[in-house]
Structure 1
Amino acid sequence: MLDAVTAFSRGTRCVYQSGMRRYIFLPILVNLIVYVGMFSFVFNRFDGWLAHWMNMVPTWLDWLSWLIWPLFVISLLVVVFFTFTLVTSFIAAPFYGFLAAKVEVQVTGREPTDDRSLTKTAIDALGRELVKLAYILPRAAGLFVISWIPGVNLVAPLLWALFSAWVMAITYLDYPMDNNKVSFTDMRQRLSKRWWQSLSYGGLITLITWIPLANLFLIPGAVAGAVLMWDAHYRDACHDARNIKPL
């Protein structure tokens, strides 16, 4: 069976071969613009944010400054990571959907079942991203709150790791599924049934997105790898909506 690492490596080779490279230029450009803009924004305001955060700490907790500062930095990194991922996914969704369709034809010889026009597909892709945001943001907010509850926050890093993997699975495996008329609810059910494949691929992509600059050029490979995962694990996945509750 196809595993996450093999799917990603094959997908990356696929998008950088002759005839496919022209489909990844715009997604990479979008990622680069967002990356540079977000990095500049955070870099220019980091000191002010840190000073404001530390001023909010009560005087009697000054002795915990050594712990509060790293927690602030970690929290900021998590927020930046999710913001970067969500923003780039939203802006580049039409390009990623188009790339996924081209990869599917290239590697499987089958056309996606989607018969929408290119314009309709692009518009629908943005709507699909809004559905994803409506699903992801409340859960991310809940985890953020948990991260600051004494005692409970001890398991927060594990929960964030699992949630990040699940979000990445939803984000990337949805491109080929949307191209093949799989609804958002149906997509989550399929991912839940193949939970190991979903979390392993999502976890791998999470690690990749943390690699500075290199992630800009690896994300198209993640889209292509998702097509391979779709074809190997999810295309023919049977599910019973009565027995499988989507996450």
Structure 2
Amino acid sequence: MRDLGVGFGYLLKGQRWVTRHGRRYGFGLLPGLITLVLYAAALVALALWGEDAVGWATPFADDWSSPWRGLFRGFLTAVLFALGLLLAVLTFTAVTLLVGQPFYESLSERVDADVSPDGTAPESGRPLWRELWISARDSLRVLVRAGLWGVLLFALGFLPFVGQTVVPVIGFFVTGFFLTEELAAVALQRRNVDLRARLALLRSRKTLVWGFGTPLGLAFLVPFVAVFLMPGAVAGATLLARDLLGEENAGDDSAAPGGRPDTEDATP
């Protein structure tokens, strides 16, 4: 269980790193803000017209007597919005990383260089368009896996007692795992670690992954928090990826190579 604390420690170290590199933190906020606006608009639309959509999809309930028709459609509307919210939580990171690929790639490289003994960061050697394609393709594949888990957990949620206690806890751990995969992919993709190998790597240290991703997933449920935590989450996931691969860290992760303060990115 020690790995749980280590994983959480990487989450905190990542946030500390970005607070000491103010300019990179500021640029790292932009993709999250753009994605947040898009998701907020989608959820507002779902809240406003979700009931109409449910009514259109359930014409067989038109002749039901009151209050059963209202209760049935009200329940389905609530379920539809809950699924939309869950989908937003699961996909927010993937979409934000895709929108902000150049920002987060640069941030992750700088973290690697800061903690690498020789002050260098691994490079994939691929052009940006290729990186974007791989990121989008892998994110879709991860989303399918996460969606299957979501459907299973939703079905199990109807079980008495277990559905209201155990299933939500499992859901948070599942969310934390896939959230960590998306974030660590920024650093691991640069090292040419494909999706299958990434998933195997994360499964080999599940408690480490849960310690990082589960509290982050819980924090992401709070409106706007995800936007401000994303840059630090990418930084922390880079440190976690180095741990998974057994790469050596030199000195404090908040310092530049050689232990000197990073004056280029420090806040005034």
TM normalised by structure 2 equals 0.73
CA distance in 1, matches of 2:207, 2:55: 41
Q: For each residue in 1:99-137, what CA deviation from the matched residue of structure 2 results, as whole angstroms up to 9, or x when unmatched?
A: 111011123344223262xxx453333123123224223
Q: CA, structure 1 residues 121+14, in 2 after alignment: closer, same or farther (shift >3 Å)? A: farther
Return the offset for 1:170.
0.7
Residues 134, 38 of structure 1: alpha-carbon distance in 2 compared, 3 angstrom cutoff: closer
Other-structure match for 1:113: 122
What residue ranges of structure 1 are gaps of 5+ in the alignment? Answer: 238-247
Q: Map 1:36-185 onto structure 2 (within 5 A).
A: 36-54=37-55, 56-57=57-58, 58=61, 59=64, 61-62=68-69, 63-64=71-72, 67-109=75-117, 110-114=119-123, 116=125, 120-146=126-152, 147-148=154-155, 151=158, 154=163, 157-185=168-196
User: In structure 2, how many angstroms separate the alpha carbons of the residues matched to 1:14 and 1:25?
Assistant: 13
- Displacement of 1:86 after TM fit? 2.5
Q: Which of 200, 219, 234 lines up with 2:244 in the alignment?
A: 234
Determine the C-alpha separation between the residues in 1 that align with 2:237 and 2:98: 17
Q: Is the CA contact 1:97–1:125 (under 8 Å) kept in the aligned structure 2? A: no
1:220 aligns with 2:228: no
Unaligned segments of structure 2, at least 5 residues: 248-268
Distance 1:136 1:211 in 2: 23
Amino acid aligned to 1:38: Y
The size of the alignment, in residue pairs, is: 231
Question: Which secondary structure does the structure 2 equivalent of 1:9 belong to?
Answer: helix
Mean CA deviation greater in 210-219 or 95-104: 210-219
Give the equivalent residue in structure 1 for 2:32.
31
1:137-158 deviation digits (Å, cap 9, x = unpaired): 3223433443257857937545
| CA–CA separation in structure 1 for the residues paired with 2:207 and 2:36 | 30
Which structure has the greater CA radius of gyration? Answer: 2
Give the structure, 1 or 2, with the largest relative contact order (CA under 8 Å, sep 6 or more): 2
CA RMSD of aligned residues (A): 2.8
Q: Give the TM-score normalised by the residue count of structure 1.
A: 0.79
**2:201 and 2:244 in contact (8 A); partners too:** yes
Instruction: Kindly provide the amino acid, as one letter, of the partner of residue 234 in structure 1.
Output: L
Q: Which AA in structure 2 matches 1:78?
A: L
Quote the offset at 1:45 in angstroms.
Answer: 4.5
Percent identity, aligned pairs only? 19
